[in-house]
Amino acid sequence: MKILLVEDEAKTADYLKQGLSEAGFNVSLARDGLDGLHLALEEDFDLAILDVMLPGLDGWQLLQAMRKQDRNWPVLFLTARDQVQDRVKGLELGADDYLVKPFAFAELLARVRVLSRRGNTTVQDQLSLADLQMDLVAHKVTRHGQRLELTPKEFALLELLLRRKGEVLPRTLIAAQVWDMNFDSDTNVVEVAIRRLRAKVDEAFEPKLIHTVRGMGYLLEDPSQ
Ligand code: CA
């Protein structure tokens, strides 16, 4: 799940980005309206979270510009103002939801999950391979009917492997997608995370689903199929 976050308040922006990343979302952050539009035109997202008061373009102008370019992802507005005309204006422009600052992070997360589910029918809420199942909305993973307790990073890593099952994923790609890191040399963090994930997903079950492809990366595959 990729989220475009446009927020100029540094503290809020960093806090939201970190929280959403820990919840397993892949967040791209822009700190003003023009950068936000630039990102929106460059990449594909599942959801946009836009602050209303932004330098450059404000949130409404940004939304209009996005819609004009067929960027029709669900949009959640963050606003410090809780005025009727603001809500009406935003909804007329095609916003999907509102959150008035200050808000609890848990509330934001709940709205994000609802929107990501409702807004785009191509967003899957279930991923599976063999008897391994991931429910993206309930944030739950089971194997052979047993619940697996995963950390947010392990969840994000497994989600990536499931979305691209059958494909060999290089360590650098995994690092970039799950940790938002670009590094060529030190991919030890990926190996450690794969080891932990494997202990939970594969150790007690057959067949083994997570495979190491020497010198290349990792692959999620059901060898019996
Ligand atoms: Ca602002």
Q: What does the pLDDT read at residue 182?
A: 61
Report yes or no: 73 and 47 within 8 Å, Cβ to Cβ. Answer: yes
Distance 173 CA to ligand 1 centre (A): 33
Token pair listed for 225: 């199929």
Q: What does the pLDDT read at residue 119?
A: 53
Distance 76 CA to ligand 1 centre (A): 14
Task: Say if 2-118 and 126-220 have the same CATH topology.
Answer: no
Please give the backbone phi and psi of residue 12, each rounded to the nearest 5 degrees, phi first. -65, -45
**Class of the CATH-defined domain 126-220:** mainly alpha
Q: What does the pLDDT read at residue 121?
A: 45
Q: What does the pLDDT read at residue 85?
A: 65
Distance 185 CA to ligand 1 centre (A): 38
Q: What does the pLDDT read at residue 134?
A: 93
CA-nearest of 43, 46, 59 to 9 is: 59
Distance 74 CA to ligand 1 centre (A): 20
Q: What does the pLDDT read at residue 88?
A: 67
Q: Where are the domains of the chain?
A: 2-118, 126-220
Distance 52 CA to ligand 1 centre (A): 6
Distance 62 CA to ligand 1 centre (A): 13
Q: What does the pLDDT read at residue 174?
A: 86
> pLDDT tens, position by position, for the chain (225 residues)?
899 999 999 999 999 999 999 888 999 999 999 999 999 999 999 999 999 989 999 998 999 999 888 888 899 989 876 666 666 677 777 777 888 887 788 888 888 988 877 655 444 578 899 999 998 878 899 999 999 999 988 998 999 899 889 989 988 888 877 876 665 556 688 999 999 999 999 999 999 999 999 988 999 999 987
Distance 53 CA to ligand 1 centre (A): 4
Distance 50 CA to ligand 1 centre (A): 9
Distance 99 CA to ligand 1 centre (A): 13
Distance 43 CA to ligand 1 centre (A): 23
Distance 9 CA to ligand 1 centre (A): 6
pTM of the model: 0.54
Return the CATH architecture of domain 2-118: 3-Layer(aba) Sandwich (3.40)
Distance 51 CA to ligand 1 centre (A): 6
Distance 16 CA to ligand 1 centre (A): 13
Distance 37 CA to ligand 1 centre (A): 15
Q: Alpha-carbon distance 159 to 150, whole Å?
A: 11
